[in-house]
Amino acid sequence: MSMQQLKSEFDLTLNHLYPSTEISNFFYLLTSALFGLTKVDIALNRDFKPSSSQLKSFNEATERLKHFEPIQYIIGTTHFFGYDFKVDHNVLIPRPETEELVEWIIKNHPNNEHLTIVDIGTGSGCIAIALKKHFKSCNVYALDISKKALNIAELNARNNNTHIQFLEIDILNHQKSQAVFSQIAQNKTIDIIVSNPPYVRYQEQKDMQRNVLDHEPALALYVDNHKPLVFYDAICRIARQWLNKNGALYFEINEYLGLETKQLFQQYNFGDVELKKDFFGAHRMICGQKK
């Protein structure tokens, strides 16, 4: 089978499910991950004979795409902030909006190498690792409720040559959270707490795509319609207690709950509260300072 044939069969199988630019992108990603081919190899239609096991993997991947499984889970990796990250069904696929949150933190803390940073709900570890890459001599703690997510995050830290301390935590369990934070604060005072916690209300599922709904971890995404800020409340409370004076709290937020989140910051007496829009113009981030 020629490369051209492989590509036209792939197009034919998927063209009623995805736009053509996306299908081409999937093709490049799969042929690169499974066959080690480059875009140039494909454009030049270079002679290529996949082995039967390579073809089998390719067909299995195509089948998974038919079920709207994200390509990042199929090939097992993605990029965030210029670094490679392993991902599987236990962690959210890092989003470009979250890169904007990391950029914002970096911009707000120039010449601040020696920070102590805590990332709550680290998932793949993307925020913690990108920050550690930038603030080379900072101490980073990355926390998650999911052991399986922590395993992926640890692997990502190792692959990106970063040293990060990983701890298991259920941030809604006040007593246990106190134990974890007193452990962290024994060694260091905390300068920055950052989190991208679950914030999608179940009522918003009707507007979501199958790739997210059917494949990404519910544990990392959803909150009760009636208590959408439950994680923000718990984390504000922790931050109020454990952040340094003038320490900063950063969140990624639900774009529809910007004002409510801002009010929560004010309730907990944070100062200089700032809501920030993402690239798409949606309120996506907030930060405040412990007074």
Amino acid at 11: D
Exposed e or buried b for every residue in 65-89, given b needs 16+ CB within 10 A?
beeebbbbbbbebbebbebebbbbe
- Residues 255-284 close enough to bind ligand GLN by CB under 6 A: none
Binding span for ligand GLN by CB under 6 A among 145-153, 165-173, 193-201, 241-249: 193-201
Say whether residue 126 binds ligand GLN (CB under 6 A). Answer: no
Give every CB contact of residue 53 below 8 A, 6+ residues apart in sequence: none
Binding span for ligand GLN by CB under 6 A among 6-14, 79-87, 124-132, 190-198: 190-198
Say whether residue 212 binds ligand GLN (CB under 6 A). Answer: yes
Q: How many residues bind ligand GLN (CB under 6 A)?
A: 9
Angle at 125 (CA atoms; ends 124, 131), nearest 5 degrees: 145
Q: Quick one: 83 or 222, whose CB is closer to ligand GLN?
A: 222
Say whether residue 196 binds ligand GLN (CB under 6 A). Answer: yes
Strands 270-277 and 77-80: unpaired
Q: Quick one: 12 or 256, whose CB is closer to ligand GLN?
A: 256
Nearest residue to 89 (alpha-carbon basis) of 220, 222, 195, 204: 220
| Spatial separation of the C-alpha atoms in residues 289 and 192, rounded to whole Å | 9
Residue 268 beta carbon to ligand GLN: minimum distance, rounded to whole angstroms: 20
Binding span for ligand GLN by CB under 6 A among 3-11, 135-143, 162-170, 195-203: 195-203
Give residues in contact with ligand GLN (CB under 6 A): 95, 196-200, 212, 221, 252
